[in-house]
Structure 1
Amino acid sequence: MTYPITASRPTHRIYAVSRSGKQKIWRAIGALWPHHDGKGFSHKLDCLPLNGAEIAIRQIDADIDASEGAQ
């Protein structure tokens, strides 16, 4: 069963978070959209971490997202 996505833009970004010493490295690996009924999510992954990285999902902040696209 599939549900239509409510927006054309994702609401959350999916990250692989790994450590290098004390520093955390966040790599964007996908995006997430809520289902129309509000009971679940659809996601698209561009890659999968194979290094034991944690998966983190964060709501997209419009200001930060716009600055990332400008780089």
Structure 2
Amino acid sequence: MTSKSKPTVPSHSVYVVEGEGDRAFWTKVGSAWRHDDGDGFNLKLTALPIDGRLVIRKAKAKSDREAGQ
């Protein structure tokens, strides 16, 4: 039986968002890795928010982050 090694780079970023629209404040609180079957995620959080909502977004490429996009 062979198994695929899990990617070490997360596929998604996890944020806590407070507020709405243009006044929303986003704070990155973790990372997510997609399950092999595509039906879920493993999360690693560096903080657990008391208030706000959690949002999972596809991770941007390093070059996009450096360009501020």
TM-score range, shorter chain: 0.7 to 0.9
Structure 1 partner of 2:15: 15
Give, as a single letter, the amino acid of the residue that structure 2 aligns with 1:55.
Answer: L
- Give per-residue Cα distances to partners, 1:31-59, cap 9 Å, x unaligned: 00012232321110000111x20111100
Please list every run of 5 or more consecutive structure 1 residues that lacks an aligned counterpart in the other structure: none
Structure 2: gaps (5+ residues)? none
Is 1:6–1:34's contact at 8 Å kept on the other side of the alignment? no
Count of residue pairs the alignment pairs up: 62
TM-score calculated relative to the size of structure 1: 0.71
User: In structure 2, how many angstroms separate the alpha carbons of the residues matched to 1:55 and 1:38?
Assistant: 20
User: Closer, same or farther in 2 for the Cα pair 1:38/1:5, shift >3 Å?
Assistant: farther
Question: Matched residues in 1 for 2:45 and 2:59: separation?
Answer: 16
Provide the rounded CA distance (Å) in 2 between the counterparts of 1:18 and 1:5: 36
Alpha-carbon shift at residue 5 of structure 1 (Å): 6.5
- CA RMSD in angstroms comes to 2.4
Residue type at the aligned position of 1:11: S
TM-score normalised by length of structure 2: 0.73
Instruction: Answer yes or no: is 1:41 the counterpart of 2:60.
Output: no
Q: Which has the higher strand share?
A: 1
Moved >4 Å (runs of 4+)? none
Quote the residue 2:52 is aligned against: 53
